[in-house]
Amino acid sequence: MAKILSQEEVDALLSEFSEEEAAAAAAGAAQKLTVKPGKKKTVDKDKKVSIYDFRRPDRVSKEQMRFLHSLHQRFARLFSSSLSVYLRALIEVNLYLVEQLTYGEFILSLPDPTYVNAIAMEPLEGNLVLEINPQIHFPMIDKMLGGKGEDFSGPRRTLTEIERTLIEGVVKLVLRDLEEAWKQIAKLKMSIAAAETSPQLIQVVAPNEIVLLIVFELKIGEAKGFMNFCIPSIVLEPIVKRFSQNWYTQRTKTSVEEVKKIKLNLLKTKIRAEAGIYGNCIKVKDLLVLAPGNLLKLETKIDEEINVKLNGIKKFNAYQVKKGSKKAVQIVNLIPREFKNE
């Protein structure tokens, strides 16, 4: 019967196996793998190995990340124009980085104090985080107060109430342009849910939750700094499949059959139509004594035009007529629109 070695004997044998012998054994093994009778194989020494952490799986694919990259490049162009007009200065906004990491890592990467907001994204559940670095929000405040927007070189400090009110105007500008950039994916209503000067006070998800970090670099003259968006992947789960160029292309194409179906549905739509005499006045004392049988004199004459309303909006001018035993109106002309959406 073969003898079973104890743990002490195994350790003793391993200690006698010198480093030189291990290197020689490794070289021999590599040689055996490289050359075989009748077939040659080579070992790829330059083969790259990617480290994958199963505790941190990627929630968004590379294709979806590329689409998000192009989406926020469009936002950078929009915000650069809007902020330049808002501050009356030439502002440069560039997309700096798009990556995935944990929320805890994101919080640790932020300076303290800074200006950080929790942003609601209705109808999506949950909040994103918007942080504006002190190196850039102080020059913006300086510019708004009539200064040159010079590079911030003072000691770290929190924003005053007046400064927070001023920088909140920039945040609202950011949210407006974000809604515009994201409307091809989903119609979102973004609003400020909370505002703090310490990143530790904004906890939108657990520290080990995967988030999307989108970083922008802002330049005002010689001053420059970063603006960060942190979007929890769990918040984007209902619409994550839309982060694809193929989805957007298919979404924007409307077939002839779909157009016909939309037209048919519109033709079946009911619109409330009413015609009446509007603009007459009566005194309150006369209104209080009105009783059945009283006559109320109207200012409009029988042969004058009256208005026809569709869903409460004046659309046509018409005359009162009679068709058989029923009262009716005869359309005269279309009332010009005051607003384009009417």
Residue 113 — φ and ψ, nearest 5°? -85, 160
Q: Tokens in use for 24?
A: 């020689």
Please state the domain extents for the chain. Answer: 62-252, 271-285+299-335
Query: Tell me, what's the pLDDT at 35?
Result: 46
Q: Kindly report, residue by residue over 161-206, the tens digit of the pLDDT.
A: 998 999 999 999 999 999 988 888 888 899 999 999 888 888 888 8
Homologous superfamily of 62-252? CheC-like (3.40.1550.10)
Q: Find where tokens 């020689």 sit.
A: 24
Residue 302 amino acid letter? I
Q: Can you tell me whether residue 176 is helix, strand or coil?
A: helix
Top-confidence residue, 327 or 151: 327
pLDDT tops 50 at residue 313: yes
Find out whether 319 and 306 touch, Cβ atoms under 8 Å. Answer: yes
CA dist., res. 242 & res. 316, Å (int): 44
Q: Are 231 and 211 in contact (CB under 8 A)?
A: yes
Pair of tokens at residue 113? 């104090």
pLDDT digits (tens, 9 = 90+) for 290-304: 888 888 777 777 777
Which contiguous run of DSSP H or E holds residue 20? helix 19-34
Which pLDDT tens digit goes with each residue over 272-286?
Answer: 888 877 777 888 888
Question: How far, rounded to the nearest angstrom, does the alpha carbon of residue 332 sit from its chain's CA centroid?
Answer: 48
pLDDT tens sequence across 89-143: 888 999 998 898 899 999 999 988 899 999 998 888 889 999 999 889 888 988 8
Collapsing DSSP to helix, strand or coil, 275 comes out as strand
